[in-house]
Each structure stands twice: as structure tokens, then as C-alpha cells.
Amino acid sequence: MNAPRNTQYRHLDVQKISGSLGAEIRGVDLSTDASDEVLSEIRAALLDNLVIAIRDQDLTPEQQLAFARRWGDIHLHPFMEGMADHPEILAIIKRPTDKKNFGGSWHTDQMFSPSPAMGTMLYAKEVPSAGGDTLFTNQYLAYESLSDGMKAVADQLRTVCVGDNFKQAGGVSRKDRYARQMSEMKVKDPGNVQTTSVHPLVRTHPETGRKALYIGGHVQHFDGMTDEESQPLIDFFMKHSTRPEFTCRVRWQTGTLTFWDNRCTQHFAVNDYPAETRIMHRITICGDAPF
Ligand code: SIN
């Protein structure tokens, strides 16, 4: 079964932003209680486009949470401290003095959880005058464009994903890294929440039935293989899955709420605004175990 590709919308203005994925949506006010019909058009737009940038919103944290809860339970980040008065919302803040940004490498959210976040809603509160865009890539296309031989290899592989001390960050803990480089991102102890998980490299999207490559920066090695054996293949899959022709770029405006499907995309927050502030409110929605 394939995702519906050309839904006719009665309530939304939906404009694609690249050939591979992504759309801008206008004509909906998420601060009011959207009707079931409007919500089902938003779901169709998400399944068709994988990433939707809903423009011109004016949302309180309560309104963003109310919209998010229409999609399922909220997935709490095991390592990141939420907002004091709204622990379900992660404020992603980068100040001019911060050297690094949160999410500045290709990844898919909470891949280290046994049931990773189905989707992420990021709402722009303050954006730099230029830059601070987010890149997305279509992981259906990444899988479908592999040769039959490589598909057969990928179909057999399982990834071991971790939530902290990533290889690509030199094994440094989140706590140390963030304290040094991201002054307002507070790391907490995950307690007994599971933060290492094994997932299929190729997952089937539970709603569209399409297969997608499921890879990102949390992958450390393949199950049953050493780091040395795994790394060349991880490098291949990462390079392949982020080819420019599989990507789109969301240019933020204050009031844009971008909703992406973590089951078939990766994303990358671009760190190119050294002298400015960027503030986003992020909510992740619970998903199911990849299969
Ligand atoms: C994230 O990786 O969730 C953050 C993306 C962004 O800030 O653009």
C-alpha cells in the first residue's frame, strides 16, 4: 500500500516545497479546536508530504499541547529537561554565545527508545533574521533507490541505537557537551527509562505500509557486528539517505509550526546564525515499536 499522493484538500492550502518531501500549509488556525475533518486533512498532508510547515500560527504552550494531544500521548525526552511549567514541552534555545545547536546533525527523534517518537511538532517562537533552517530527508526514497542487492542486505540488518555518549560526539556525555556548548539546554538523568534499543534498519510505516530506511546519528553499530565491521556500512547508509535530491529545507518564520513524521524522515538543524537567538518549542508524540 502506498501513501495517498494527491489528496484534494477542502480546508487547507497545501503547497509542496521540494520535489521529494515537505509542504507549507496555510488556512488553518491551530489555536482553535480543529474539527475532525480538518484534522484528517492535516493527517493526509503529513502522510503525503512527510513534513508540513503550518504557517502563521499564534499558540500558547497550552494550545500547542492541546493540538499535539489530538495525535496521541506526549513522548517525554528521557535526557532533556522540559519547561518548568510545561514539562511536556522542550524549549530549544540557542543564544549568540552558544557554539553548538541542539539537533545539529542528521537524526530521527528518540531512535534510542524502544518505541521512538512517531512525530515531532516544533513551533517557532523566535528566529534569526536569516539562517537557522531545518533540513529534512525522505527515507522512503532512500530505501526505494537502493539496488535490489543492497535492499536484501539492508532488510537483514538491525541497528543498535543509543541515547547518550554517541560515537559521533566522541563518546562525550550529553551533560558535559551541553554544559560546555548549549547554555540553556538542561540535561537530566533518565533514571530507569530504556535509552538503548535495537531496531530494524528497514522499517514499515504503520500507516502507509511503505518501507523506509531507519537510520540516524544514534546508530552505533549493527546488531551482532563489531564497530569496525559496521562503520563503513553506516557511513554508506548515512551518505546515501541524505542525498540532496531526497531533501527539503524549511525556512522558519515566527509562528511556523512544523510537524514531521519520524518514521520516514531524518532532520538536521543548521547552525549558521552565530550572533542571534533562536527559540523553539518542541513536542514529540508517542509512536510504536518499529517493525
Ligand atoms: C530537533 O532535532 O528536534 C531540533 C530541530 C531544530 O531545532 O530545527
C-alpha grid cell for residue 209? 505500509
- Do β-strands 134-138 and 265-269 pair in parallel, antiparallel, or remain unpaired? antiparallel
Residue 145 maps to a domain: yes
Q: Which residues form the domain of 103?
A: 13-285
**241: enclosing H helix or E strand:** helix 227-241
Residue 185 maps to a domain: yes
Count of structural domains, the chain: 1
Contact between 254 and 126 under an 8 Å Cβ cutoff? The reply is: yes
Residue 110 maps to a domain: yes
Nearest CA to ligand 1 atom 4: 103
Q: Which residues contact 20 (CB under 8 A, 6 or more apart)?
A: 137, 138, 141, 245, 246, 247, 248
Contact between 38 and 28 under an 8 Å Cβ cutoff? The reply is: yes
Catalytic residue among 48, 98, 109, 164: 109
103 CB less than 6 Å from ligand 1? yes
Around Cβ 226, how many Cβ atoms within 10 Å?
A: 9
* Sign of the dihedral defined by the CA atoms of residues 44, 49, 55, 59, in that order: positive
Contact between 94 and 199 under an 8 Å Cβ cutoff? The reply is: no
pLDDT per residue of the chain (291 residues) written in tens, 0 to 9: 344 456 889 999 999 999 999 999 999 999 997 899 999 999 999 999 999 999 999 999 999 999 999 999 999 999 999 999 999 999 999 999 999 999 999 999 999 999 999 999 999 999 999 999 999 999 999 999 999 999 999 999 999 999 988 787 788 888 888 878 888 888 888 999 999 999 999 999 999 999 999 999 999 999 999 999 999 999 999 999 999 999 999 999 999 999 999 999 999 999 999 999 999 999 999 999 999
**How much is the pLDDT for 2?**
43
Residues forming a β-bridge with 15: 24
Integer CA distances (angstroms), 280 to 9, 95, 269, 275, in order = 28, 12, 11, 17
- Do β-strands 23-26 and 51-54 pair in parallel, antiparallel, or remain unpaired? parallel
208 CB less than 6 Å from ligand 1? no
**How much is the pLDDT for 62?**
97
Q: Give me the CATH number covering residue 71.
A: 3.60.130.10
**How much is the pLDDT for 7?**
82
Residue 47 maps to a domain: yes
Residue 60 maps to a domain: yes
Phi, then psi, of 139 in degrees rounded to 5:
-85, -10
**How much is the pLDDT for 1?**
38
C-alpha grid cell for residue 221? 553499530
Residue 64 maps to a domain: yes
Phi, then psi, of 194 in degrees rounded to 5:
-70, 125
Nearest CA to ligand 1 atom 3: 103
